[in-house]
Amino acid sequence: MVTYMAELLDKGLPSMQQPLLQIIYSLLSHMDLAAIQVKSFNVEVLKTIEKFVH
């Protein structure tokens, strides 16, 4: 789900960036990050999100 949201963030309309970042933040804050496999949450997703976080 986070991967899909990051893709929308990267390729979607600029007006959708803030709502998508809020959704991504909400998803990440409610996930058990210790249980996530590194492969499933790859570096490309983080790089995409990083471009839009100021």
Q: What is the pLDDT of residues 33-53, one digit of tens each?
A: 777 666 666 788 888 889 988
Taking the model in full, what pTM does it have?
Answer: 0.74
Q: What is the pLDDT of residues 3-18, one digit of tens each?
A: 899 999 999 999 999 9
Task: Show the DSSP H helices in 1-54 as ranges.
Answer: 2-11, 17-29, 43-52
Q: How many domains does the chain have?
A: 1
Question: What percent of the chain has a predicted confidence (pLDDT) above 70?
Answer: 87
The DSSP 8-state label assigned to residue 30 in this structure reads T
Instruction: Render the burial of 14-34: b for 16+ CB within 10 Å, e for the rest.
Output: eeeeeebbebbeeeeeeeeee
**Domain coverage including residue 31:** 2-52
